[in-house]
Every structure is written in structure tokens, then in C-alpha cells.
Chains A and B, each alone.
Chain A
Amino acid sequence: MNIYDLTIHELKEKIAAGELTPVEIKKAFADRINDVENKVKSYITVTDELADEQLKDFDNKKKEILAGIPIAVKDNMSTDGIKTSCASKMLENYKPPYDATVVEKLNEAGAVIMGKTNMDEFAMGSSTENSAFFNTHNPWNLSHAPGGSSGGSAAAVAAGECAAALGSDTGGSIRQPASYCGVVGLKPTYGMVSRYGLVAFASSLDQIGPITKDVEDSAILMNVIAGHDPKDSTSIEGKKEDYTDYLKEDVKGMKIGIPEEYFNLDFDQEVKNSVMSAVDKLKEAGAEVETVHMTDASYALAAYYVIAPAEASSNLARYDGVRYGLRSEHASDVSEMFTNTRHEGFGDEVKRRIMIGTYALSSGYYDAYYLKAQKVRTLIKDDFDRIFNDFDLIITPTAPTTAMKLDSNKDPLEMYYSDIFTVPINIAGVPAMSVPCGFDSNEMPIGLQLIGPHFGEGKIIQAAYTLEKLLNIKDKRAEL
């Protein structure tokens, strides 16, 4: 196996055994970036100098969890002195003067940061085609999209351009690209990972999580990034778990719900078959699988497309050209400067969501849209709580299809529908992971979604780890 194909835990073992040095590892990944980046285009910024700088500190970090491990970071997480563009013209040259808490944690853990990955502008999209700069290509088939919005992170992991990456997930933005790119993506419980330094899209839904080559790496990265942060009032206080404790091949007696309303939706038959055959394997291994009934996912989708744009309309209002980022040259007064800056700086999808959100919060419409959506949100939370009273996990597909072709879909509503399985999870604030469960007839990866109760990351990891062993497809890599 090539060095760039190795997982975090495999690299750690080789460093510990003296078989590889961090310098060799970094070089292998940097070479891989040189070789394939022009085809995949995962990165907005490659931080080669920073990586070399961090390597110099390896002797002091030797004992840390990620010592010498090459990691990529989505370009919406603030990196001190390094461009953090959110794939937007608005922030094309913006360099934050501070590190996001997760970036600080990566640094403390000895990680080597390879670069900042491409994404849909401000994380709004499901294909990374909303990047203001360029498309990222799916490593399994370069004419396909990697999914989104964390498409750059998922593609970089799948292409061996890093050992693992961080993504952010507001309505599926970690899980859906992980599914499309055949890697593991975890969206933790809301509040589990600090959002400080994550450029906000929808504050009550955004959550940072790991995108990795296997489940074990997901547990390792969670050990690094999870935990209370006094700088984020919504981060949860409490004892930190060691997620590697859950790396056990055991699902005996685990109760798994299969929501009929989700499986009855109109979606790809190959995806459905692949997910169901994986569920059967879990059943054979001793899991108790039962059909459950849940609220129609379309309500969650409707609530999401009110709440997320509403929060976004406010979160993105600060890009006004006054202090940083783009400022329009074509303005004769302040009000015109605001308008023209935002007109020139934002892409269509961002503008669309800002307009939807502004409308939903407007006086006279607030009750009918925002308030109603919040009520729906409460019902959806209750619905998940009800299921988790009796079940350990819920399984659904991650996405209705495998990765779509690039430039194939321009209808926003159809794009929104592709989030149908992932959005309810953010609305409920619970954790969920996408794990590869097979390939379709075009050899494109299929992902299965494991959903757990609040703080149920451990159970998810255990079931996913078991499934990974049962399916035995995790060492398969995209050929480039």
C-alpha cells in the first residue's frame, strides 16, 4: 500500500515502530497532492510551508494523538494568518488574525496541516459546485461531483491528499460528500465540538466533524476535537469520552430502527438495496432490527430551508465591505457600497438563501415561517427522542443517490431534496455518521447513515466499526 493510502492509526503505528518518519509521511502526501491535485482540485490553499513549520515541532509533540499526521481543514475554519475564504469572492483575500478552536486543538495534537479545502460558498450547497473558484472532482470518477458542501475535504481524503480532514455539517455537508466519496463522515451531537472560529452559516445547526478513511480514525479525530470550549456558549460541558473505547466488533442485542417513511421515499434502488443488505449483515451479527415509524422527512426539509436561510441572512450580513474582505469599487455612498459589495461578492445560491431568510424573518411573515419552522423543529426532536427511548440507533441511506455528474443539476429545489436524509438529523441536533456500504453499477460509492441519540457517538462508532469489518470494503481506494 502507498503511504498516502494509509489511515491515521496505520501511520501512527508506522511512526511508533520507526518504519516511517513524519517528514517522509508529509513528503508522501505532498507528492500525492502534486500528482493528483490538478485532477481532483480539493484544495483552495495548500499550506506546504505551514506543514514544514509544524513538522519542526515534532519532537515536542511526539506523544500527542496526531503527531506527524497530515490533516486537511475545510476553508470555513479560521486559520491564523492563512486565507480562510469560505470559497467566496467576498473573502477571497481574507486572513483571520486567530485560529478556530478546532485548529488550535489540531495544532496541540501535533497534526500537520496540509491545506484548506474547497467547498460550496459559505457551505451552501450539496456538490461543491457553488465554490466561487473552481469545481472539485470526485476521485472515484472525475466527471462526478464530490458532493458538498465539504466536497474538498471528502475528495482530499478519498484521493490520499491527506490522512483525514475536518468538515462542517449544517444539513448533511459532512455525511453526503463522505458518502459520495466512499469515506467515513461524522456529524457529532450539536454542541459536542466548538464552533468558535467556524465561519457561521446557520448557527443552531452548524457542527464540525471528522472525515476519515475508516471508523477508527473517526474516533481518534473525535478524541482531539470534541469537548467544552468556554469561547462557545453552545458547547456542552461534561466529561469527555474516549471514543476509541467503542472500537468493538459487537452489535449483539443492539436495537436498530429502520424508519419506514424514509425508506418509502422515492430514491435510487441500488442505494436502497445496498443499505438493506448492510442492515441484513448487522442483523446476522446479532443486532435486533425493527421497522419504526417517524414523521415524514419532508417536514424537516421544509423547516430546515426556513431556519437555515433565516440564520444565514443574519450571519452573512456582516460582509458589508467596511472592515475586511471585498469592497465594491463602484459606489458613491455607504448604502450603495453595502449593496454593490454584496451584489459583487456573493454567488447566486448564497443570495438566494439570504433572500429566503430575510423574507422569513420579515415583520408580518415571521410567525408563518420562522416561528412555524421552530415548532416543527421541536416536533422532529421529540420524534427522534421517542424512537431513541426504545432504540439504540436508526439507519437510513445517507443520500438518495450516488454522486451526481458535475454540471448536471441546476434546479435548486432538486438539490435541496438531495439533503432529505441528512437534514432531519441537524434539526434534531443528534449525531450521525455516513459509512461506506457498497458501490453502484457505475462503481460509485454508496453511504449508509447511522443515527444515534444525543451523545450517542459511541454507539454509532461501535456499530459502524462492526459494519466496516463485516463488509470488508474499507481498503478499496479510488484509482487516479
Chain B
Amino acid sequence: MSTKYETVIGLEVHVQLATDSKIFCGCSTEFGKEPNENTCPVCLGLPGTLPVLNKKVVDYAIMAGLALNCDIAEYSKFDRKNYFYPDLPKAYQISQFDLPVAENGKIEIETDAGIFNIGVTRVHLEEDAGKLIHEGSIDKSKGSLVDYNRTGVPLIEIVSEPDMRTPAQAKAYLTELKMIMEYLDISDCNMEEGSLRCDANVSLRPVGQEEFGTKAELKNMNSFSAVEKGLEYEVKRQREILEEGGEVVQETRTWDESLNKTISMRGKEEAHDYRYFPEPDLVPLEIDEAWKDKMRKEIPELPREKYKRFISELGLPEYDAGVLTGDKDMAVFFEETLKDYDDPKNISNWMMGEFLRLLNEDNQSPFESGVSPVNLAKMLKLIDEDVISGKIAKEVFEKMYNSGSDPETIVEKEGLKQISDEDELENIVDGIIAENPDAVEDVQSGKDRAIGFLVGQVMKETRGKANPGLVNQMLRDKLMD
């Protein structure tokens, strides 16, 4: 019988903190500037310059640590990580080695297979490096250019315990982290722009074995789907090696999106010795209770708590709660609407249906659209009060979305009010009966479905404004007697 293998995954996630200025100098962190515009002698590492810590960066790191249920260090320090690379101006990165800002956390994740707790080993602060730019591909480029705008942009590195057993869990963990950072409003978390980056350690071991198997470190997974695909590929690759009786080699591998596979970058022997030692240019960081408490107060309700509350208190289905809390702005918009309109499921239906469709088309957040929570609540009330039909409401909603007007004005101006006056409908209903003798005969011979066709014709004639329930009743009254 063949051995069954268990996958072991740990993630190292880098999150760029959305401070206005860099971690050790006053330069702007704005993305998309001309190359090397956001630089100064300090972040360029010119001889004689010294780093000065940006306090806001520590604020954000403390918030992240607290949100990930970590212990916040009373005493923390910075260390130098030494290595040569053209994008690293000092030839060392200021990072944290043995005394990170936060340690011993955990977060809860959910996949189709259930709910899991994933340990967070540590959260530490460091500075980002620059970027190499090549003309065309790296092999064919005549030279390399360096853009140091990103150098010194603050990062936190969040290291997980090797607690994940499937690529799906890894993806769920990464998604949960992203949501938490977004709720804290400390990062843009944009994987394409590189403000969220993920490396993975992957190994396999026979089920039941305590000891970890030999791991590969996986880099360059630049999207959520790349993380899942990269991990799936790597798990399959290692399983095949083990099943053929081979041995996995400890190495760093890179995910190649175009080839859909992982490729060896460097082996264990070529691994760097970073020669960490305490950064003598900075004083140790002391974080007292008052500072922690101040940051704790800045933390809003986090996505997982919100998700659970939406289900238990508002009675939303898990799916709805998941979609709404999956995006901070959606959740906030939903709760704002709920203040003026007390049918959560109805709001949810509209937000997840029409609203989300339009937002996805325009790739924007709910607050960037013309719809406000107050106006959405007003529109839902207009439906409930039979002022407009559900069908017309879609038209009204789209107009709100595009123009920013309130629904009453739109209904008024466009004459979209539902016709619920029998006198007003009488002629139209009679006309439709006269024009459709076949359908009338069908209805009268008991084919109830034909009545829907006639209702449809009336709706068409009134451009959707007729009250469909009323029309249905009128047709029955006229034809069934």
C-alpha cells in the first residue's frame, strides 16, 4: 500500500504600510511617481546618513499585532540584515531579528472543509528595497536601471506557523489577512502593485509523522490565484518525487506564471548568511501599556467578528455575510443602510445583486458610486410602499448609481411611479384582452400560465409601471367570470 502524505504550508506575508512618509526618512511613499523622485540622502543610503524611525509605522504594526491576537513586545529592537543587491542602497536592510514588535498570535479562517485556527509566529517591521528595471527581458536588456522610490517604504512581515494543510487553507489565510489589514486601514493590500506579497514554505510528510519533511521556499506568487496554483503545483511536484522514492531538495523556487510551474532559484548551499546584528543607529523600541491601549482603541470590529454577527444577529445566510464582510466598504455601506431600513436580507439582496454587478463593471467601491446608504434605504422603502415595482427599481437604482440623485426625485422626474389605479389600467387591460384572443382562450380553457403572458403584455404597454399584482387580479376578474 502506498504512503499517504500530508501537506504542511507556512506563509510569510509582506504588507506595505500606508503611511504618508517612509519608515526612516521624510520622503513620500506615493506610488507611481517618476523613478527616483521620492528619494533623499537617507533612503539612498548616502555615506553619513542616519535613519530616524517614523512613529506612525510603529502605531500600525502594533495595530496589526493586536488584530492578529499577538503579544506586543514591551521591548523591541531593529537589526541589520546584510546582503548585496543593487536595489538595496546600504547593502543591508533594517529589519527585526530576535525581538519583533509582535509574537504568538493566531487567526481563524474558514474553507469548504471547515473552520481552522492558524498560528501567527511573529509580526516584524522592516524597510522595503528598490526595484530593478530592465529594457525588455532581463536576459536581453543591455543594463539594469534602479528605481529607489520604494526604498524605505515601511513593511510588516507576518510569519505564520506551519499550520496550513491545503493550498485552499493558505488562500483563505491570505484572504483573511488582507481583509484584516483593510479593516485596520493600514495598507492598500494590492498584490498587483506589490503592497501585499506572499512567500510560502511547503513540505510533505507521511500522515501521522511528527517531524516535518524537507521544505521548498516558494516565491514570486503575485496574485491570490497564483498563490493557490503555485502551491498546488508544488504539492503535486513534491508528492511525485516522494512517491517515486526520491528526496525533496531544500531550495528556493519561483512560481512562473506563464509556464504554470515552479522553477528552482537557488539551493541550500547558495542560501545567504545575512549576518544579522543589532542596528547601532537606532535606539531600542519601548512600547508601554498606554501606547498599546491607544492603538487598541483604533481597531474596528474585524471581518471575522462581523461575519459571525451578521449571521447570528441579523439572520443573514453565511454566503451573504461572507460577501458583505469580504470587503470593508461593502460591510460599512451595508451597516449604514441598515440604520435607515431594517430588513437586512433585502439590503443584502440588492447589494450583492444589482449593486455589486455595477461596482464590478466599474471596478470601484460602493462609496465611489452615486448611491448613498440613505438613498438605497429610501429606494427600498419605495418598493415596500408599492410606489415603484421591483422591476422599475432596477432602473431607478441604475440612475441613482450614475447620477447620485435620490430615488424620489428620479421617480418623480422620470414619471416612474407604479400605476395602481384600476381606472387608469382598465382601458389598457381591455385593449390587451381584445388584441390576444388566443391567449384569452387558453386562460379560459384552464391554462393558467397564459395569464402571465397577458400580464407581461400590460407591463410592456405601461413600460413596466403597472402594478403587476393588480393587473393579474384584474385579468382574472375579467376572464374567469
Interface residues of A (CB under 8 A from B): 76-78, 84, 86, 91, 94, 96-98, 100, 195-200, 202-204, 230-234, 310-311, 313-314, 317-318, 320, 322-324, 334-335, 338, 358, 361-363, 366, 370
In addition to A196-B48, A361-B276, 20 A-B residue pairs with Cβ atoms within 8 Å of each other are: A86-B47, A96-B41, A199-B48, A200-B281, A203-B280, A232-B50, A234-B50, A234-B280, A311-B280, A313-B275, A314-B91, A314-B92, A317-B84, A318-B45, A318-B89, A320-B86, A323-B45, A334-B144, A361-B277, A370-B277
Interfacial chain B residues near A202, Cβ < 8 Å: 280
**Could you show 11 A-B contacts with beta carbons less than 8 Å apart?**
A78-B47, A91-B47, A94-B47, A96-B46, A96-B47, A98-B46, A196-B50, A199-B47, A200-B281, A234-B281, A320-B86
B44 close to chain A: CB less than 8 A: yes
Interface residues of B (CB under 8 A from A): 41, 44-53, 80, 82, 84, 86, 89-92, 144, 146, 273, 275-277, 280-283
Interfacial chain A residues near B92, Cβ < 8 Å: 314, 317
Given A98-B41, A358-B275, A366-B277, verify A320-B84 contact (CB < 8 Å): yes
Interfacial chain B residues near A78, Cβ < 8 Å: 46-48
Out of B41, B84, B283, name the residue touching A338 (CB < 8 Å): B84
- Cβ-defined contact, B53 with A233, below 8 A: yes
Interfacial chain B residues near A230, Cβ < 8 Å: 52
Nearest chain B residue, comparing its CB with the CB of A324: B46
- Cβ-defined contact, B280 with A197, below 8 A: no
Shortest beta-carbon distance from A106 to chain B in Å:
15
7 interchain residue pairs of minimum CB distance: A317-B91, A361-B275, A203-B280, A204-B280, A199-B47, A197-B48, A78-B48
Out of B44, B48, B146, B283, name the residue touching A200 (CB < 8 Å): B48
Interfacial chain B residues near A318, Cβ < 8 Å: 45, 47, 89-91
Shortest beta-carbon distance from B98 to chain A in Å:
11
Interfacial chain B residues near A370, Cβ < 8 Å: 277
Nearest chain B residue, comparing its CB with the CB of A78: B48
- Cβ-defined contact, A77 with B48, below 8 A: yes
- Cβ-defined contact, A97 with B41, below 8 A: yes
Interfacial chain A residues near B50, Cβ < 8 Å: 195-196, 231-234
Where chain B touches its partner, the secondary structure class is: loop
Cα distance A197–B53 in the bound complex, in angstroms: 17
Interfacial chain A residues near B84, Cβ < 8 Å: 317, 320, 335, 338
Cα distance A370–B90 in the bound complex, in angstroms: 21
- Cβ-defined contact, B80 with A84, below 8 A: no
Interfacial chain B residues near A94, Cβ < 8 Å: 47
Cα distance A234–B46 in the bound complex, in angstroms: 18
Interfacial chain A residues near B283, Cβ < 8 Å: 233-234
Shortest beta-carbon distance from B65 to chain A in Å:
22
Interfacial chain A residues near B280, Cβ < 8 Å: 202-204, 234, 311
- Cβ-defined contact, B273 with A96, below 8 A: no
Nearest chain A residue, comparing its CB with the CB of B40: A98
Cα distance A199–B45 in the bound complex, in angstroms: 11
Cα distance A198–B146 in the bound complex, in angstroms: 26
Given A97-B46, A317-B92, verify A233-B275 contact (CB < 8 Å): no
Interfacial chain B residues near A77, Cβ < 8 Å: 48
- Cβ-defined contact, A334 with B275, below 8 A: no
Cα distance A218–B428 in the bound complex, in angstroms: 106
- Cβ-defined contact, B275 with A231, below 8 A: no
- Cβ-defined contact, B44 with A323, below 8 A: yes
Given A317-B92, A318-B91, verify A200-B86 contact (CB < 8 Å): no
Nearest chain A residue, comparing its CB with the CB of B46: A96
Shortest beta-carbon distance from A185 to chain B in Å:
21
Shortest beta-carbon distance from B323 to chain A in Å:
46
Cα distance A338–B84 in the bound complex, in angstroms: 8
Shortest beta-carbon distance from A102 to chain B in Å:
10
Interfacial chain A residues near B48, Cβ < 8 Å: 76-78, 84, 96, 100, 195-200
Nearest chain A residue, comparing its CB with the CB of B277: A361
Interfacial chain B residues near A197, Cβ < 8 Å: 48-49
- Cβ-defined contact, A314 with B275, below 8 A: yes
Nearest chain A residue, comparing its CB with the CB of B85: A334
Nearest chain B residue, comparing its CB with the CB of A232: B50
- Cβ-defined contact, B282 with A233, below 8 A: yes
Shortest beta-carbon distance from B137 to chain A in Å:
16
Interfacial chain B residues near A334, Cβ < 8 Å: 86, 144
Interfacial chain A residues near B91, Cβ < 8 Å: 314, 317-318, 320
Shortest beta-carbon distance from A303 to chain B in Å:
14
Interfacial chain B residues near A322, Cβ < 8 Å: 86, 89, 146
Cα distance A10–B322 in the bound complex, in angstroms: 81
Shortest beta-carbon distance from B353 to chain A in Å:
54
Cα distance A75–B46 in the bound complex, in angstroms: 15
- Cβ-defined contact, B273 with A363, below 8 A: yes
